[in-house]
Structure 1
């Protein structure tokens, strides 16, 4: 069987989209910001805050350091230079309890589950080892992929729209350093993965349409490949075509 192009697109794009969305979900770079901090004077109170996160700085070691803060759905990180130190921890506090973050977490997990289920159904429906695909099963898988894409897009949109306000009310780092947070790499992985999921799902849904076999001019009710006049031709191989 020659697999329809729409099915090929679906079973190629959807897994790529799933991998990208999964990568975005587990990485802590949904938002990121950096600031140069003084280790003396009014900003010295930051040193005690860094020690509470397991990042000890010797007094007088440096006059200023570059702090890079990044947050994801399940993990946050602080990176400093100099020295080159990085520390990550599970999200906690106001950020973890923020309803918009929890909404993004739930939508992302649901999206991953639906897309994975859709890929399984698509593989069963396409079944390249058979002459006839199960077009209804493949189209159902495509529908689940489209729903998964919409859920991940909703999660990304909610997070991006509220990015600079998530869990930062009264946060000491933001108040004393004026840390400006912006979108980071994980968001771009998520957007790209969602688009690929949508393309794969729509392609599989289009494969639901039954193709038409060419008919025999002498016998309109028969496919052209079984036309009686073709049976009299010598040295011709006859192939059975299933649609």
Structure 2
């Protein structure tokens, strides 16, 4: 797996910030003093957190100068010493955690550890930014930071610039590495949603299953077959009971249209003799039981 961009950016920026903070802490260049009355014009005095150096014509440099004004006992200097050392130690711890979390001979980085290292580096950047900002704020105040009286001028040294840059790089690198917590949090949330419940959940609706016997059919329904009521099988002959009928009953044909239950020849016997003569003259005999057209 490729290393994510946020991890790569954090691992690159954090060591640079640590190196700049280390240089700013050790170098005697927090404040620059010029214009001494009893010194040559090109004499410059550099003041730092741990040492003072006198430089003339950029060729002669003498460090370890005595503190004649009580500069090292000033509160901003003492606070800057403690916070800068704390910043360096915290940044070193953050880089160690970042090294173990980003890769450390693993196929996939440890997102949680890399995110924690980002938080530690961010705190280290804050520890370095606070004393640098405070020192820069009171740099020209001779009551807070003792210095010779005018016409000596006070200027910002290069160590303050390096301290600003190093602290900002630590903050950016820490924020970049802290973004590694996002995949870890997303994975934890996904696992939490997919986790099964602790115990079996009881349904709000209780379902009871019972083995109910089938109701017995009444004899009228049980022995009804082919549209007729049959006696029970025990009462039928053995042959009929052994060979049940299979199939569906055919419907009965409707009655003929010409069927007439009334006797239409009733009362016609007397008239048959009288009309025998007329019937003999008919061209076609009538053999049907119904009256013929000639008779009508």
Same fold (TM over 0.5): yes
CA 184–24 in structure 1, closer or farther in 2 if over 3 Å, else same:
same
Instruction: Indicate whether 1:155 and 2:131 are aligned.
Output: yes
State the match for 2:62 in structure 1.
87
- Report if the CA contact (8 A) 1:3-1:128 is conserved: no
In structure 2, stretches of 5+ residues that fail to align are 188-193, 195-296
Instruction: Indicate whether 1:102 and 2:75 are aligned.
Output: no
Q: Which has the larger radius of gyration?
A: 2
In structure 1, stretches of 5+ residues that fail to align are 38-42, 47-63, 214-220, 222-243
- Root-mean-square deviation over aligned CA pairs: 2.4
Moved more, 144-153 or 177-186: 177-186
Alpha-carbon distance, 1:26 to partner: 0.9
Distance in 2 separating the partners of 1:168 and 1:124:
42
Alpha-carbon distance, 1:209 to partner: 1.4
Alpha-carbon distance, 1:100 to partner: 1.2
Tell me the alpha carbon deviations over residues 161-213 of structure 1, each in whole angstroms, 9 at most, x when there is no partner: 111236654x5xx23x6211111111111111111111110001001111889
- Report the TM-score, using the length of structure 2 for normalisation: 0.57
Distance in 2 separating the partners of 1:190 and 1:92:
23
State the match for 1:239 in structure 2.
none
CA 90–114 in structure 1, closer or farther in 2 if over 3 Å, else same:
farther
- Report if the CA contact (8 A) 1:36-1:66 is conserved: no
Distance in 2 separating the partners of 1:101 and 1:35:
23
Q: Where do 1:190-201 residues align within 5 Å?
A: 190-201=163-174
**Greater RCO (Cα-Cα under 8 Å, separation 6 or more):** 1
Tell me the alpha carbon deviations over residues 34-79 of structure 1, each in whole angstroms, 9 at most, x when there is no partner: 2264xxxxx4xx6xxxxxxxxxxxxxxxxx5422111111111112
- Report if the CA contact (8 A) 2:76-2:145 is conserved: no
- Report the TM-score, using the length of structure 1 for normalisation: 0.69
Alpha-carbon distance, 1:96 to partner: 1.1
Q: Where do 1:116-127 residues align within 5 Å?
A: 116-127=92-103
SS of the residue corresponding to residue 32 of structure 1 reads strand
Distance in 2 separating the partners of 1:3 and 1:98:
46
SS of the residue corresponding to residue 2 of structure 2 reads coil
State the match for 2:122 in structure 1.
146
Alpha-carbon distance, 1:146 to partner: 0.4
- Report if the CA contact (8 A) 1:74-1:91 is conserved: no
Moved more, 73-82 or 2-11: 73-82
CA 95–130 in structure 1, closer or farther in 2 if over 3 Å, else same:
same
Instruction: Indicate whether 1:4 and 2:4 are aligned.
Output: yes
Q: Where do 1:1-243 residues align within 5 Å?
A: 1-35=1-35, 37=37, 43=38, 64-81=40-57, 84-89=59-64, 92=67, 94-127=70-103, 129-165=105-141, 169=146, 174-175=148-149, 178-210=151-183
Distance in 1 separating the partners of 2:163 and 2:66:
19
Distance in 1 separating the partners of 2:76 and 2:158:
19
- Report if the CA contact (8 A) 1:96-1:102 is conserved: yes
Tell me the alpha carbon deviations over residues 82-124 of structure 1, each in whole angstroms, 9 at most, x when there is no partner: 9x43211167461111111000110000000000100000000
Distance in 2 separating the partners of 1:119 and 1:168:
34
How many residues are paired up?
185
Distance in 2 separating the partners of 1:208 and 1:66:
54
